[in-house]
Amino acid sequence: MTRRRFIADEVSGSHAALTGEHADHLVRVLRARVGEEFDIAAGSVVRRGRVKAVAEGRVEFELGEAVPAIEAPAITLLLSIFKFDRMEWAIEKCTELGVSRIIPVIARRTDAHLVAASAKRVERWRRIALQAAEQSRQAAPPEISNPAKLHDSIKVSGLKIVLSESESQTLMRDLLESHPSGEIILALGPEGGWTEEEMQQFQKSGWIPASLGSTILRAETAAIAATAIAISHLG
């Protein structure tokens, strides 16, 4: 039977703990008991953990041998902020697929009220990513940065692909096949797409425009599809 995996909030030598709401989920929903075993992601390794103490807001583990863990692919998403319910769904699913970093981007066409509220949503996005990483048996959730303006987000290294519905010549999958494996950074625009000025910013910073195909996808669908294609490319 496959053991459930949790990402520790505290690690000290051969001991680890879940705290707060994270621990309460394990106690109230999964009804964890002393002696039960789970896989615990403790820093850079995943180890077998035996529950040694259960209390409100805290579950403590004694850590045993290391267990195999798959390293997350080097995929970063520059994800333009869009309607929060759909953006949260994209964050959850892209985390399950295995992205290593998500940068929420304030684009020219991002609604002003979403921009104003976005800073207060970051901790919720991180909780969603943590839960999705545990559910999909990963060793760590993706790093989720604070929201940033486009010009502060595009200065990164790797194969930089900006997805654009106006691009008709280059498909993302073809672009990936023509480049060796390595870090991939994908930029996905808001509802309405990138402006012409933003596309010029991308190209001046070395980004390559590409398309996912002939259909126009919702922002969350495009994020998930692009992530799945990149994951498949990295094997």
Residue 105 parent element (H or E): strand 101-106
pLDDT at 199: 95
Q: How far apart, in whole angstroms, are the C-alpha atoms of residue 107 and residue 112?
A: 10
Q: Which CATH class is domain 5-66?
A: mainly beta
Paired residues of 66 in beta bridges:
47
29 pLDDT more than 90: no
Q: If pLDDT is split at 50, 70 and 90, which confidence band does 222 have? A: very high
47 pLDDT more than 80: yes
User: Is the CB of residue 82 less than 8 Å from the CB of residue 118?
Assistant: no
- Let me know how many helices (H) and strands (E) the chain has, helices first: 8, 13
CATH of domain 75-234: 3.40.1280.10
Instruction: Name the one residue in this structure whose structure tokens are 């020219």.
Output: 108
Q: If pLDDT is split at 50, 70 and 90, which confidence band does 1 have? A: low
Residue 127 parent element (H or E): helix 122-135
Instruction: Give me the percent of the chain exceeding a pLDDT of 70.
Output: 99
Region(s) of the chain under CATH 3.40.1280.10? 75-234
pLDDT at 72: 72
Mean pLDDT along residues 106-132 = 95
Model confidence over 141-193: pLDDT tens digits?
999 999 999 999 998 889 999 999 888 789 999 999 888 767 899 999 998 89
Region(s) of the chain under CATH 2.40.240.20? 5-66
Q: If pLDDT is split at 50, 70 and 90, which confidence band does 109 have? A: very high
25 pLDDT more than 80: yes
28 pLDDT more than 90: no
Instruction: Give me the percent of the chain exceeding a pLDDT of 90.
Output: 72
Instruction: Return the structure tokens found at 203.
Output: 């190209």
pTM of the model: 0.87
Question: What is the Cβ-side half-sphere exposure of residue 84, based on CA atoms within 13 angstroms?
Answer: 15
Mean pLDDT along residues 220-233 = 94
